[in-house]
């Protein structure tokens, strides 16, 4: 476990995270290019980019040899990216509580 409050993680001491999420308002090209390549080398398994402008989730499975777009998360047990995109869309018209309640209904299957 990485100790709580650690701001810079020493990857020589701790493993790379399984999942990294980036919020891209003005940095989309860098997030999809340079940062994605860096996370591939570091051994991150999955990388998500939240495209704020297009209201979309871009997910990638990462390996040191490259990356592949995902429609369904491998790290989070088959979570469809479409559900997260819909939650982002709903957040533009509904408050946080309403979106959270909708997500809970989606995840519980009711």
Instruction: Please list the pLDDT of the chain residue by residue as tens digits (110 residues).
Output: 888 998 888 888 999 999 999 999 888 889 998 999 999 999 999 999 999 899 999 999 999 888 999 999 999 988 999 999 999 999 999 999 999 999 999 988 76
Residue 77 located in a structural domain: yes
Domain annotation covers residue 3: no
20 touches 44 (CB < 8 A) = yes
Which residues span the domain enclosing 90?
19-108
Q: Is residue 53 part of a domain?
A: yes
Looking at the structure of the chain, the number of domains it has is 1
| pTM for the structure as a whole | 0.85
Closest to 89 in 3D by CA, of 44, 55, 53: 55
Radius of gyration of the chain (CA): 15
Is 101 domain-assigned? yes
In a domain, 39, yes or no: yes
């Amino acid at each position: 476990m990485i100790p709580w409050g650690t701001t810079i993680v020493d990857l020589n001491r701790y493993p790379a995270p399984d999942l990294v999420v980036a919020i891209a308002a003005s940095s989309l090209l860098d997030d999809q290019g340079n940062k994605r390549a860096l996370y591939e080398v570091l051994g991150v398994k999955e990388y998500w980019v939240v495209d704020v402008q297009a209201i979309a989730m871009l997910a990638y499975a990462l390996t040191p040899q490259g990356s592949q777009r995902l429609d369904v998360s491998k790290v989070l047990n088959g979570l469809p990216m479409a559900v997260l995109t819909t939650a982002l869309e709903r957040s533009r018209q509904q408050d946080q509580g309403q979106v959270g309640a909708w997500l809970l209904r989606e995840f519980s299957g009711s």
